[in-house]
Structures are given as C-alpha cells and as structure tokens.
Amino acid sequence: MKALYTAIATTVGGRSGHVTSSDGVINLDIKPPKEMGGPDTAYTNPEQLFAAGYSACFGSAISSVATAKKLKVRPTVTAKVSIGQKEGGGFQLAVEMDVKFSGGISQQDAEELVKEAHQICPYSNATRNNIEVTFNTVVE
C-alpha cells in the first residue's frame, strides 16, 4: 500500500487513560463505558471513536460512489459499534450502520450505493471477515 496519509494517536493508560493525536486536535480522557464498569460521567471510549471514524469514512465512500454514478446525495450515516465477549475468551466488535437518504433517490439505488461503498470504504475493508457489519438503508 502506498500511504496517502498517516494518522498518529497515542494513548497512555489504555481504556482508563488519555489519548492525544500528533497534531493535538484529539486530546481526551477516555474511560470504559458505564456498562463495562466505567464511571457514570461524560467520557469518550474507543468504541465511540471507532464509530465516529467509520461513519464519517463510510459517508465519504457513499459520496464517492454516487459521484461516479452522477447521483447527488448527502447521506446521514450512524454507526453503532458494540463490544462483547467473544466465544472462547476475549472481546470482539460488531457494527450496525444506519444509512439515511433524503428523497431524490430510490430505495434500490440507495441500497446499491451502500453495497458498493462497503467495497471501497477503508474501514469496511479493514473489518471485512473480522467482525459482523450490518446495514439498514432508508430513503425518506
């Protein structure tokens, strides 16, 4: 792979620590979610950061596919990233992606855009055959 960009983030203290990006834009305390024994306070966690990255990247992949097909869309993408115990020990992730399109496109075209975007999105390529990713596509 020829790298076009490299993001750099450093975490000290794991899930109960602090994460910073090399450019200082990300500078956050992170804590496990309350459901996993974390505090009942407002902190981010790795799953939220992954959901933010995947949803943004997937939205761009849809736009890229749509542009190639001369379709004008601006989808709303919500990634729901779950963490759970893996059979045999350890943990694993699962992603449910809600993709909404506002008018001007058929349900069939919307589903085709999502399917094609899933083939080119870097997050989809990284997770393919590693975690379950499901899509809910809606045209309003």
pLDDT in tens, 95-129: 999 999 997 899 999 999 999 999 999 999 999 99
Position 79 scores a pLDDT of 98
User: pLDDT for 41-82, tens place per residue?
Assistant: 889 999 999 999 999 999 999 999 999 999 999 999 999 999
Say if CB 48 and CB 78 are below 8 A apart: no
Within 10 A of 97 (CB to CB), how many other CB atoms are there?
24
Element (H, E) at 60: helix 46-68
Q: What is the largest CA-CA distance in the chain?
A: 48
- Report which of 109, 105, 110, 83 is spatially closest to residue 96, judged by C-alpha positions: 83
The angle at the Cα of 37, spanning 57 to 14, to the nearest 5 degrees, equals 55
In CATH, what number does 1-44 get? 2.20.25.10
Please report the pLDDT score of residue 103 as a whole number.
Answer: 75
Give the domain ranges of the chain.
Answer: 1-44, 46-139
Determine the pLDDT at residue 104: 85
For 101, counting Cβ atoms within 10 Å of its Cβ (0-12 exposed, 13-18 middle, 19+ buried), the class is buried
Contact 19, 26 (CB under 8 A): yes
What CATH number was assigned to the domain covering residues 46-139? 3.30.300.20
Highest mean pLDDT among 19-28, 30-39, 98-107: 19-28
- Mean pLDDT to the nearest integer, 11-40: 94
Average pLDDT over residues 8-13: 97
Q: Which pLDDT belongs to residue 41?
A: 87
Strand pairing report for 132-139 and 91-101: parallel
Which pLDDT value is given to residue 134?
A: 97
